[in-house]
Amino acid sequence: MKALVTGVGGQLGRALLQSVPAGWDAVGLDRAALDLSDADAIARLVAREEPDLVINAGAYTAVDRAESEPELARAVNAAAPAVFARALAGSTARLVQVSTDFVFDGAQGRPYQPSDVRNPQSVYGATKAAGEDAAGDRAIIVRTSWVYAAGGANFVRTMLRLMRERDELRVVADQIGSPTWAAGLAETIWRLVSRGEAGIYHHRDAGVASWYDFAVAIAEEAENIGLLARRPAIMPIATADYPTPARRPSYSVLDVSNTRVALSDAHVHWRSALRSMLKEELSLA
């Protein structure tokens, strides 16, 4: 069985290639191999490779820059899934479309279920919501949040760099969500594929946190294993104190109960997953 995995230059794409199950031959595609804004290139690739599965982990993820580049964000996040869906139509091949908590507005105050009404507040969120629709009814949609991995470009590694450079950091404390280790997300995606069912699923690590909580945990855990020589002071601030071009949901915790029931698996707490990632990061240092 052949799978095409897009976005392998990113942290989730790499994790997917590192966890390919037996019986699958995965072809990894980074931006150089496949420009997701090029519809003709996508169609030609699918026609040539004739895959049994496409996992579209590639995306335009520059949330703030998307506000000034909406056409490019739309081409990658919305148009590309539509091209994949059309190219796979008429075959038994499946499409997995990776999506985001940013399709919700954050106003509900309880974890979002897969069936809850979407109301994205940013160009990034709107284009990812459009990508979900474009993927079609036969697709597996996997929404996730706050993804990080060793060696990637993410909040954890940015915090580690800043913690080494500064004596004090200011981190937003009124945006609430759930961190997600890319390795666990990749495993969930492959297991959902093995079930052969379509639909919308949520995956995140257990527990909730603010960005401030997450930063404090990063400092504590990194110091414990020697990844940081000392912990800087970390000060909580409000979103209003750190304005950004894109509006972010204030509460974007995803309800993952249907995924956990479907897979009959354990739900790893985000702090435990963070420890595993930091140990991997230490091995790369």
Catalytic residue among 124, 148, 201, 212: 124
Give which of 66, 62, 58, 65 is closest to 11, Cα–Cα.
58
CA distance 230 to 240: 29
Q: Among candidates 239, 221, 242, which has minimal Cα distance to 160?
A: 221
Rounded-to-integer distance, Cα 242 and Cα 237, Å: 8
Tokens of 8: 């392998």
Q: How far apart are the C-alpha atoms of 258 and 94, rounded to whole Å?
A: 20
Give the 3-state secondary structure of residue 206.
strand
Q: Pairing state of beta strands 94-100 and 140-144? A: parallel
124 is catalytic: yes
**218, 160 Cβ separation under 8 angstroms:** yes
Catalytic site positions: 124
